[in-house]
């Protein structure tokens, strides 16, 4: 299977190299050198396969349907004025405290809880989403895929290589692609281009472009102050910002949209945004405590972390991500009963986050309840395939007598992690099951 897989990749690479040439940027009309062509359909497929993994790696989607509908409506309003309105535009709120927004190819865009809660009006939200729509519209991510670490994953996905299970080659490549997209920075020129295009879309959608200036003034205060490292590790890491960029946008609005900016009919919509994020605001104190708990846990101070998680859960009740953190900390400290209680509650509140499913599946394995473990771990692997999840699921398959399924997963873990602890443990289980 491995030889066939890599042969497929090599053949696909050679074919795509033969197709290399120039592609026309749909926004600027410029011809750009392209190592390989990515069609709109392939771009959508890349986003469709990688966006769910990207969300999971950042805490999952924020589980509030009303807020998600609001953000989707604002984003869709902007996307209809893009040069690619037929893309399946999707806008999500990701449950992450770091102020951030990101886009993957094909029209899949997310804004973090940590950035959304800092906004003051709908025009500022439109500025964030319009900027990300512009990145997709101008195919900036596709340009970045032409080189670097994302190339192999891109080729694997667009060439249609498939895997045999939830941890097959394609799902691994999709997760790697998602991680690469989250870590990838845009160039300063791409940022400036997306600023201008995003402002154009804002104006066409009826928003006051001053919302974009307000947003960037706020960014500049955060950059100049430098007191909050989450901005440097979040938004500013992937979207480089400068005072020059702020001034360029002020000048662009003054030269093209001075009348619109002064028009009282052009929307800022402060009350609309405040109403939409009212419930999110109520959880802010709890998530501040959650972030502190994570910091303490990262330092190895589990007792203090548990105490902080408990405070977070009290300040923001029924937040699945906080309960997942608390349950995981309890598990690390050896309190399995409390861990199971809180992880089960997290799954009940939000069944669509891989980490709570993973922790609960591990607990069921420890309690020799393989049937329940398999159910939780299969769902975890569907949401985000991980090495740890694959190994634990293989153990679960052993426990319920599904030896062939266990062997298949152990082989994939051993192949993916030949020098690591999990890979070597998987190799030992293969030998034991095959009687060697």
pLDDT in tens, 363-383: 999 999 999 999 999 999 999
Q: Are residues 222 and 365 in the same domain?
A: no
* Phi, psi (rounded to 5 degrees) for 92: -125, 155
Report the range of poorest mean pLDDT among 4-13, 202-211, 262-271, 426-435: 4-13
pLDDT of residue 174: 63
Spatial distance between the Cα atoms of 434 and 170, rounded to a whole number of angstroms: 27
Helices first, then strands: H and E counts in the chain: 25, 5
For 156-177, write each residue's pLDDT tens digit. 555 554 444 566 655 666 666 6
CA angle 145/146/151 to nearest 5° reads: 65
Tell whether 182 and 288 lie within a shared domain. Answer: no
DSSP 241: -
In tens, the pLDDT along 300-319 reads: 999 999 999 999 999 999 99
Residue 8, C-beta contacts closer than 8 angstroms, at least 6 positions apart: 159, 161
Dist CA 151 CA 138 (whole Å): 19
pLDDT of residue 161: 46
> Is pLDDT of 107 > 70?
yes
Check whether residue 229 and residue 292 sit in a common domain.
no
Q: What is the pLDDT of residue 147?
A: 56
- For residue 69, the enclosing domain spans 2-262
Domain termination residue (choose one: 213, 231, 262): 262
- The arithmetic mean of pLDDT across residues 351-355, rounded, is 97
Task: Assess if residue 133 is contained within a domain.
Answer: yes
Domain membership flag for residue 417: yes
Q: Are residues 286 and 247 in the same domain?
A: no
- Asked if 313 and 257 sit in the same domain, the reply is no
Inside any domain, residue 166: yes
Q: Are 94 and 59 in contact (CB under 8 A)?
A: yes
Q: What is the pLDDT of residue 236?
A: 55
- Same domain for 87 and 142? yes
Q: Give the other-Cβ count within 10 Å of 121's Cβ.
A: 22
93 and 159 belong to one structural domain: yes
Sign of the alpha-carbon torsion through 397, 401, 405, 410: positive
**Do 384 and 325 fall within a single domain?**
yes
Q: How many residues does the chain have?
A: 436
pLDDT at 222: 76
pLDDT of amino acid 225: 59
Domain boundary among 227, 262, 297: 262
Least confident of 79-93, 118-132, 183-197, 301-315: 183-197
By the 10 Å C-beta count (0-12 exposed, 13-18 middle, 19+ buried), 148 is classed as: exposed
How far apart (Å, rounded) are the C-alpha atoms in residues 352 and 364? Answer: 18
pLDDT in tens, 6-65: 444 444 444 444 444 455 556 665 655 455 577 888 889 888 888 999 999 999 999 999
Smallest CA-to-CA distance from 368 within 343, 336, 413, 332 is with 336
Beta strand segments in 28-105, E: 31-34, 90-94, 101-104
Q: What is d(CA 79, CA 254) in angstroms, rounded to the nearest whole number?
A: 24
Residue 153 has pLDDT above 70, yes or no: no
CATH code where residue 314 lies: 1.25.40.10
Give me the torsion for CA of 209, 212, 218, 221, rounded to 10°.
-100
Contacts of 150 by beta carbon, 8 Å cutoff, 6+ apart: 144, 177, 180, 181, 184
Residue percentage of the chain with pLDDT more than 70: 78
Q: What pTM was computed for the model?
A: 0.85
- Regarding whether 136 and 95 lie in a shared domain, the answer is yes
pLDDT at 2 over 60: no
Give the separation between CA 153 and CA 147, rounded to whole angstroms: 11
Instruction: Specify the number of domains making up the chain.
Output: 2
Helix runs in 80-149, H state only: 113-116, 122-137, 140-145
At residue 12, the pLDDT reads 46
> How far is residue 380 CA from its own chain's centroid?
16
User: Is the per-residue pLDDT at 155 higher than 90?
Assistant: no
The CA-atom distances, in angstroms, between 371 and each of 1, 22, 190, 362, 425 are 29, 54, 50, 12, 22
Q: Percentage of the chain with pLDDT > 90?
A: 65
What is the pLDDT of the chain when averaged over all its residues?
A: 85
Element (H, E) at 331: helix 320-333
Enter the tokens of residue 242. 């400068």
Tell whether 244 and 391 lie within a shared domain. no
CB-based contacts of 351, cutoff 8 Å, min separation 6 = 357, 379
The reply to whether 75 and 221 lie within a common domain is yes
270 found inside a domain? no
Which regions of 114-260 does DSSP assign to beta strands (E)?
none
**Among 262, 293, 315, which residue terminates a domain?**
262
CA–CA separation, 330 and 324 (whole Å) = 10
**Looking at the structure, do residues 187 and 301 belong to the same domain, yes or no?**
no
Query: Is 149 domain-assigned?
Result: yes
Q: What is the pLDDT of residue 266?
A: 84
């Amino acid at each position: 299977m491995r030889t066939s897989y890599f042969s497929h990749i090599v053949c696909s690479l050679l074919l795509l190299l033969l197709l290399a040439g120039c592609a026309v940027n749909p926004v600027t009309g410029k011809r750009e050198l392209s190592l390989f062509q990515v069609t709109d359909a392939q771009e959508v497929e890349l986003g469709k396969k990688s966006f769910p993994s990207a969300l999971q790696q950042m805490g999952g989607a924020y589980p509030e349907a009303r807020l998600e509908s609001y953000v989707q409506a604002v984003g869709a309003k902007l996307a209809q004025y893009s040069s690619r309105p037929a893309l399946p535009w999707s806008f999500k709120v990701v449950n992450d405290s770091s102020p951030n927004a990101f886009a993957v190819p094909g029209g899949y865009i997310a804004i973090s809880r940590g950035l959304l809660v800092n906004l003051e009006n709908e025009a500022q939200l439109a500025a964030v989403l319009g900027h990300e729509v512009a990145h997709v519209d101008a195919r900036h991510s596709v340009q970045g895929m032409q080189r670097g670490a994302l190339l192999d994953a891109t080729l694997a996905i667009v060439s249609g290589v498939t895997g045999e299970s939830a941890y097959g080659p394609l799902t691994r490549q999709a997760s790697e692609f998602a991680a690469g997209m989250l870590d990838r920075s845009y160039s300063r020129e791409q940022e400036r281009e997306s600023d201008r295009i995003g402002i154009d879309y804002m104006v066409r959608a009826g928003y006051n472009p001053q919302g974009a200036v307000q947003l960037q003034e706020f960014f500049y205060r955060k950059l100049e102050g430098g007191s909050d490292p989450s901005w440097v590790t979040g938004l500013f890491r992937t979207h480089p910002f400068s005072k020059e960029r702020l001034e360029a946008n002020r000048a662009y609005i003054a030269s093209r949209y001075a009348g619109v900016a002064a028009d009282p009919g052009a929307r800022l919509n402060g009350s609309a945004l405040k109403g939409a994020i009212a419930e999110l605001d109520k959880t802010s104190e709890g998530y501040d405590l959650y972030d502190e708990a994570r910091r303490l846990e990262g330092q190895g101070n589990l007792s203090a972390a548990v105490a902080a998680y408990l405070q977070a859960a009290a300040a923001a009740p029924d937040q699945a991500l906080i309960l997942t953190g608390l349950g995981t900390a309890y598990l690390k400290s050896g309190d399995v009963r409390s861990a199971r209680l809180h992880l089960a509650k997290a799954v009940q509140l939000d069944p669509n986050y891989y980490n709570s499913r993973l922790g609960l599946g591990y607990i069921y394995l420890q309690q020799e309840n393989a049937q329940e473990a398999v159910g939780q771990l299969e769902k975890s692997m569907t949401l985000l395939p991980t090495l740890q999840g694959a190994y634990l699921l293989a153990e679960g398959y052993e426990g319920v007598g599904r030896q062939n399924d266990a062997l298949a997963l152990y082989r994939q873990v051993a192949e993916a992690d030949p020098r690591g602890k999990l890979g070597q443990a998987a190799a030992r289980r293969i030998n034991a099951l095959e009687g060697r």
